Chains A and B, each alone.
Chain A
Amino acid sequence: MVVKYLRKAYTNFATYIYDIPPRMLALLLIMIFALLPMTRALDSSTLMMLRDASVMAILAASWDLLVGRTGQMSLGHALFIGIGGYSSALLFMHFGWPVWMVIPVSMLAGAVVALLIGLPCLRVKGSYLALLTLAFPLLLERAVYYFRDVTKAEEGIPPPPRLPAFFQGLIRLDARIAEYYLTLSLMVISAIILYKIANSKRGMVFVSILDDELASKACGINVTNYKLLAFVISGLFASLSGCVAVYISSFANPSFFGIRWSVLPLVVTIFGGIGTIYGPIVGTYIYYFLDMYVFRKIINISEWHYFGLTWEYATFLIFILIVIIFILKWPRGIARAVVEKLEDLEEARPIEELEQKMAKAD
């Protein structure tokens, strides 16, 4: 019954919405998101949730360019969050640079680091590559503890001025709303750039490396250069995400290199679908939405005390379990699994009808 209605809804969706060019659809979504704060329907916690989601969406999209498009498995994108965060915080603390200079420089730092780690990483493949990339954030985390004079280790680097202060002067807005707009616009800009790159001629080369490295080599493509390019682009945008994260959380501490930030892109990609750039972005919003509304507001998990357990941590556990289940069952992501399921049903319908008719005839 439910499936029937879902299928009907999907057929309508596919016939009416798919005809609209994706560009328009994206524009519509962006406009809805841009107008949301005007309606005063959002409280500050929702604004904060959307703000964090926007920052993480940049990370997830950049991860998808490297992993979903080029097929270079990375479990170490926390590295770029850390590099972006620490470089911007350090630049501010030691040189007092303004925001508009710090952001490009820390993006550049992320790109340089991506180039440096890309060189050794390109020599290995598959599991080795994943393990090697997993190692880098931990190395850097150790380095943060080792050079504690510069980085202040556990204490973290004292807060740089909050980013929106710079914009608030220009457009008189509440701090939360200013942050929301800023992160949203950065997300939209980087998503558009990443999407354009992924669908450009070079982006096609990335996909060819994913599909068959040997064949692309045989076609005269310099695979090494393209892999490095993917690393650098991914690092550039991931460190932008780290840079913004430090400005909105106003603290740079070793948790920026934490395993959580390396695993999160994976989780949200499973929610949204791999290799599409927009999939992980949608997935990030779904993830944060579920985290905020279902787990915190509706069932209020942090107030639970059953069996003496700390249920707060069950949220991420459930997300990871969902990831495992979906990789075992539908390895290409939830969104695509649902769509494929519905399309299969749609194709299967005439045959079912035919069978029913034949059964009647008999």
Chain B
Amino acid sequence: MIEGIILHGILSSCTFALLASGFTLSYGVSGIINLTHGAFFMIGTYFYSILLDVFSISIPAEFSILSLILPVIASTILTGIVASIYYRLTLHQILGDELATLVVSISGCIVFQQMIYLIFGSLWGMQLPVPELLSGNITIWNVSISYSRVLAAVTSFCLFVALWLLIATTKTGKAMKALSQDHEAAMLMGISTEKMYMLTAAISAGLSSIAGVMIVSSTTRVGSAIMWLQPLAISFAIVVLGGLGSLKGTLVGGLIFGFSRTIVELTVPLGGAIVDAVPFLILLCVLVVRPKGLFGKRVEMED
């Protein structure tokens, strides 16, 4: 039991931390709480499962590994493009107005949800099959874990490190940090706010989309049009746990969340039915005990 909790906990934490890192990035850089983040998880997975069909027809069988990897990359890029266009059209115009941002971004989620309904029609039509990225199981400490979950965790961790490197070392990352520290001073230094914010929106949506692909390829199907709500709640819970705008905090929050979710799933009777309620319970507890989050609110973007 303990081994199961530890292994599943670590594996799921990585993916959840990746999911939340986009959310925290977008808050850290542009200072907006972009609730549409959850919707990009959803449309990323839908792009992925549609592109899978497209690529599996057009790519010859001997390169079958390509027909799995290319859709991941393509869907990430597509989601990023959609996200940056969406950001430029809506949220960029109301920067600084918290209530309007909130209402517009939640409406954005509903827009994407209705689009999914519009395209796929019925509840059954919405459920698309997604293959596992890797088949087979591995047994560690008498716990059987599928390869695709390990792959998901490893990929997520690598991407998390890559994001950290991007912010800590590259010029773009420095520009992002500068924007989060002092918006106007950064503009005076010749950083284009609009471009950087659009890039941030694209990166954060892309990360959300990859996390989505990783999660759906271990559950092997794309679910429903309400899929934005759960990831949104998860990323918000993690970000609140770790403090908004801090990548380290996000990793810690992801670990706490991943473990508590795994513990509920494996120990509570009928845990599968209430596992979706875990992020909300965590959110509730944290906000009631410490309204500013577990590690306090940090407005600046940190490494």
Seen from chain A, the residues whose Cβ lies within 8 Å of a Cβ on chain B are: 73, 75, 120, 123-124, 126-128, 130-132, 134-136, 138-139, 142-143, 145-146, 259, 263, 266, 309-311, 313-314, 316-317, 320-321, 323-324, 327-328, 331
Contacts and interface: CB of A to CB of B under 8 A. Distances in A.
19 contacts: A120-B287, A120-B288, A131-B233, A134-B233, A135-B233, A135-B283, A138-B229, A138-B276, A143-B274, A143-B277, A263-B107, A266-B103, A310-B121, A317-B115, A320-B114, A323-B103, A324-B111, A327-B103, A331-B97
B98 interface: yes
B110 A316 contact: yes
Residue of B98, B118, B226, B236 with most chain A CB atoms under a 10 A cut-off: B118
Interface class of chain A by DSSP: helix
Nearest to B279: A135
B93 A328 contact: yes
B288 A123 contact: yes
A311 B114 CA distance: 10
B281 interface: yes
Nearest to A75: B106
Contacts of A317: 111, 114-115, 118
Nearest to B118: A313
Given A73-B99, A139-B277, 15 more contacts: A124-B287, A126-B98, A128-B240, A136-B280, A142-B273, A143-B274, A259-B229, A263-B110, A266-B103, A309-B119, A310-B122, A324-B107, A324-B111, A327-B104, A327-B107
B291 interface: yes
Interface in B95-132: 97-104, 106-108, 110-111, 114-115, 117-122
Nearest to A125: B291
A336 to B, nearest CB: 15
Contact of A135 (B101, B103, B280): B280
Q: Which of A73, A313, A314 has the most CB of B within 10 A?
A: A313
A107 to B, nearest CB: 25
Contacts of B236: 131
Contacts of A143: 274, 277
Contacts of B291: 123-124, 128
Contacts of A310: 117-122
A320 B113 CA distance: 11
B34 to A, nearest CB: 10
Given A130-B102, A316-B110, A320-B110, A139 B281 contact: yes
Interface string B138-158: 000000000000000000000
Nearest to B287: A124
B27 to A, nearest CB: 10
B252 interface: no
B79 to A, nearest CB: 19
B284 interface: yes
B1 interface: no
Given A138-B233, A142-B276, A327 B33 contact: no
A145 B233 contact: no
B270 interface: yes
Contacts of A323: 103, 107
B108 A324 contact: yes
A127 B107 contact: no
Given A132-B283, A135-B233, A327 B114 contact: no
A135 B118 contact: no
A120 B93 contact: no
Contacts of B240: 128
B100 A331 contact: yes
B99 A259 contact: no
A150 to B, nearest CB: 14
B162 interface: no
B287 A314 contact: no
A337 to B, nearest CB: 14
Contacts of B98: 126-127
A331 B101 CA distance: 11
B137 interface: no
Contacts of A316: 110, 114
Contacts of B192: none
A138 B291 CA distance: 21
Interface string B262-303: 000000001001101101110110011001000000000000
A45 B188 CA distance: 61
A331 B94 CA distance: 10
B169 interface: no
Contacts of A126: 98-99, 102
A130 B279 CA distance: 15
Contacts of B102: 73, 126-127, 130
A199 to B, nearest CB: 23
A128 B110 contact: no
A263 B279 CA distance: 21
Nearest to A322: B107
B90 interface: yes
Contacts of B114: 313-314, 316-317, 320
Contact of B94 (A120, A146, A320, A327): A327
B118 to A, nearest CB: 5
Nearest to A145: B273
Nearest to B111: A320
Contacts of B33: 127
Given A132-B287, A309-B119, A146 B104 contact: no
Interface in B196-230: 226, 229
A146 B108 CA distance: 30
B117 A313 contact: yes
Contact of B283 (A131, A145, A266): A131
Contact of B90 (A127, A136, A313, A328): A328
A120 B287 CA distance: 8
A266 B100 CA distance: 12
